[in-house]
Structure 1
Amino acid sequence: MKQHVIYIRPYKKTTIAEKSGVYIKDIADIHASSAVKNQINSLLILKIKNLNKKDKYLITIIDIIKVILNAFPDVIIQNVGDPEVLIDYVPKVPKENSLWEWTKMIIVSVIIFAGATLAIMAYMKDAALDKTFVVVNRIFTGEEVENPVWITIPYSIGIAVGIITFFNHIGKKKLTDDPSPMQVEIDQYENNVETSMIDSMIVKKRGKP
């Protein structure tokens, strides 16, 4: 008897909202006969325990294969996608608010414009930020003040907020579950080191200098 071959392409990341259960159809694309495909798509792969809490889950291809083989022990499974699936669960589907999106875009644009302007002026002043503040104050107020407080205080607060947001930490507490840019860079560095070590060992195994 010819065995059925099932091709599965797991998604790298998927968002699940307002559902207590995650099924194969939510995290992967299946290629098989229609009858088998429909049954596989309806298989439960994960049960969300806390429906009111935003959380992340990781499903590996091994987890998917186990669920499929429990239902269809005689099939052959070929993975043609990612080995892991990151599930981002949210209690409610976020509603789009055009006004709020435009407001955020305007605020971010103003901040970027102001920051770029200040950076260019500071560069033209040979990185003399204090002199740049004096020039900016003279442009907007027409007065020559050595320490324009209305600029220096927001600047100091902005630096602190920017650092906290960038590193995603306040002391030992993380603001969100997402990795910080530093963690991402360290992870990439470790991957590069491991790849370099493997390449070096392969070269030695082949007897090359």
Structure 2
Amino acid sequence: MSNIVYIRMKKMIKVKELKHIKLAHIAYISTVAENSGTLYETPIYRITKKDNNLVVIDSFTVIRHLNTIYNGLEFQLVGPDHTLVEVNNKSKQPSILIASFVWILLFIGTAMTIMNFHYDVSMQEVHQKLHYLFTGEQTPYPLWIQIPYSFGLGAGMLLFFNHWFKKRFNEEPSPLEVEIFNYQQNIDQYTGHYENELNDKDIYY
């Protein structure tokens, strides 16, 4: 029983340079075996320039490699069946010009979307009717309704996205963060399914 080693592969790791991937980098290990310390330092994969920026390390290949080194241990896999390694060889500074252009483009697009939506639902007429119901007077510009409504619209967007620059209002993820997480999950699953798995020559023996 003491010779069983439980391995749970990490879903994804990021490295900033070409390096040797050890077992501790890509997996969690649980065992009471005496040589558990050397397991963490076991070399698994060497990242080279031909790997580009994505490497898929399959758990079956890892266990097969470990079995050739540690004959007296029994390895059992728990959890994910592969680890996605993202290699970032170049660190680029964000361009202020590009960021400003994207910000202006998004600002104009969002403003046009909000104005077109209010025009489609006749929001101005709604405000005029509300003003008439409360005051009994007709006016084309009920500013006492429109101005608080505009501020409330902006405050509602901040609460919806749960962010003010880097500050979060609470620990609950925003809908945008959930969508980004789901998108990243789909990308990881697609990459893990279609990316070429490790060949025998890529493993240290």
Per the normalisation by structure 2, the TM-score is 0.49
Q: Which has the higher contact order (CA 8 A, sep 6+)?
A: 2
